[in-house]
């Protein structure tokens, strides 16, 4: 009888934990929705400014990209994006799309993950898939600048910024998410075994 009471107490505790996770899911779902939108809007703004050789221009340097406003002094080692050869601009745009797009996808999949938590789906296959997708997107975001550097050098891009501190952070978070996805899979197995036992 004590075993039955303990089992029902464990189920009630799990239900309370699930409710807490559901409540925590909503603010993070909103946060990652906003980050996804801001990333996409920021990328669109950079592409618009980069394609338009207007008073505000995009400048590419060895370590960074700058938006130079009228009356501002551009960095010494930078060149205006619109003055670069077409192949260089195309490769730069491709690199920017891959890097920014992978970050937007990471935020999108994290939004989906916390949306699943908000609905009470904690150990299901969907949250595990969302977590793995976010991990993969973060790893692409971290590694793409270095992997695309040979292409950028081949077409004469001044961009040499192939590694940043946030790249290491994204790589580590991506790796942690892969491990956590495996933990979720184990949790799902334990939850299924518990239901079968009951």
What pLDDT score was predicted for residue 40? 96
pLDDT value of position 6: 47
Sorting pLDDT into bands at 50, 70 and 90, what band is 172? very high
pLDDT band of 12, cuts 50, 70, 90: very low
Q: For residue 45, what are the contacts with CB-CB under 8 A and spacing of at least 6?
A: none
Whether residue 115 is predicted with pLDDT greater than 90 in this model: the reply is: yes
Question: What's the pLDDT at 13?
Answer: 53
In the chain, how long is the greatest CA-to-CA distance? Answer: 81
Contact in structure between 88 and 156 (CB atoms under 8 Å)? yes
Q: What are phi and psi of 41, to 5 degrees?
A: -65, -40
The strand pairing partners of 67, in sequence order, are 58
Of the chain, the percentage scoring pLDDT greater than 90 comes to 40
Look over the chain and give the mean of its residue pLDDT values, rounded to a whole number.
85
Task: Give whole-number Cα distances, 26 to 1, 37, 127, in Å.
Answer: 39, 17, 15
User: Per DSSP, what are the bridge partners of residue 154?
Assistant: none
Tell me the CA distances in angstroms from 61 to 78, 152, 166, 194, one per residue in order.
4, 12, 18, 58
Cα distance between residue 77 and residue 59, in whole Å: 10
Are the CB atoms for 108 and 130 separated by under 8 Å? no
Q: What is the arithmetic mean of pLDDT over 176-187?
A: 89
CA separation, residue 21 to residues 7, 69, 86, 118, 176 (Å): 21, 45, 50, 7, 19
Q: What's the token pair of residue 123?
A: 């150990």
- Angle at Cα 5 formed by Cα 2 and Cα 9, nearest 5°? 135
């Amino acid at each position: 009888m004590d075993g039955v009471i303990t089992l029902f107490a464990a189920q009630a505790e799990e239900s309370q934990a699930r409710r807490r996770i559901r409540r925590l899911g909503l603010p993070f779902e909103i946060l990652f929705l906003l980050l996804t939108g801001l990333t996409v809007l920021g990328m669109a703004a950079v592409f618009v400014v980069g394609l338009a050789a207007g008073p505000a221009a995009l400048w590419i340097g060895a370590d960074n990209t700058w938006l130079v406003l009228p009356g501002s002094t551009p960095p010494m080692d930078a060149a205006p994006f619109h003055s670069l050869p077409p192949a260089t601009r195309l490769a730069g745009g491709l690199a920017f799309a891959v890097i920014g797009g992978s970050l937007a996808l990471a935020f999108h999949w994290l939004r989906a993950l916390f949306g699943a938590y908000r609905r009470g789906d904690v150990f299901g296959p969907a949250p595990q898939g969302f977590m793995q997708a976010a991990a993969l997107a973060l790893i692409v975001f971290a590694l793409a600048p270095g992997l695309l550097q040979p292409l950028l050098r081949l077409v004469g891009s001044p961009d040499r910024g192939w590694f940043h501190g946030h790249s290491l952070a994204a790589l580590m978070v991506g790796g942690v998410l892969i491990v956590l996805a495996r933990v979720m899979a184990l949790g799902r197995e334990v939850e299924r075994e518990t239901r079968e036992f009951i």
